[in-house]
Amino acid sequence: MNEIDQKFEALAAEIRGLSEKEIYYRIRKHFDQVPREIQKSCMDFFNQFNYWGRLDPEKGVYEEIEEKGQALFAHMEDFVWLYHHLGDYRSKKTLYAILNNWYRYDFTTTAQAKEYLFDDYFDLDLVSCSTEEVVVDLGAFTGDTVLSYLKNYGQDCYKRIYCYEITPKIFALLRKNLEQYRDIEFRMKGVADTEGTMFLVSNQTSASANTLGQERGEEVPVTTLDQDITEPVTLIKADIEGFEQKALEGAKHHILNDHPKLLFSVYHNNEDLWKIPQRIHQISPEYRFYLRFKSSPLYPTEITLFAL
State the pLDDT at residue 211: 78
pLDDT value of residue 207? 66
| CB-CB contact of 268 with 284 (8 Å) | no
Residue 95 near residue 79, CB atoms below 8 Å? yes
The reported pTM is 0.95
CA distance linking residue 293 with residue 305, whole number of Å: 9
> Quick one: angle between helices 20-32 and 89-104, nearest 10?
80
Q: Left if phi > 0, otherwise alpha if psi is -120 to 50, otherwise beta: which for 141?
A: left
The string of DSSP codes covering 144-155 is HHHHHHHHHH-T
pLDDT at 213: 77
Amino acid at 238: A
99 and 72 in contact (C-beta within 8 Å)? Answer: yes
Reading the chain (308 residues) residue by residue, the pLDDT tens digits are 899 999 999 999 999 999 999 999 999 999 999 999 999 999 999 999 889 999 999 999 999 999 999 999 999 999 999 999 999 999 999 999 999 999 999 999 999 999 999 988 999 999 999 999 999 999 999 999 999 999 999 999 999 999 999 999 999 999 999 999 999 999 999 999 999 998 887 777 676 667 777 777 789 999 999 999 999 999 999 999 889 999 999 999 999 999 999 999 999 999 999 999 999 999 999 999 999 999 999 999 999 999 99
pLDDT of residue 203: 74
Query: Which one-letter amino acid corresponds to residue 144?
Result: D
* Residue 282 CB-density burial (10 A; 0-12 exposed, 13-18 middle, 19+ buried): exposed
Query: Which structural domains are found in the chain, ordered by start?
Result: 3-113 (no CATH), 134-265 (3.40.50.150)
The pLDDT assigned to 209 comes to: 67
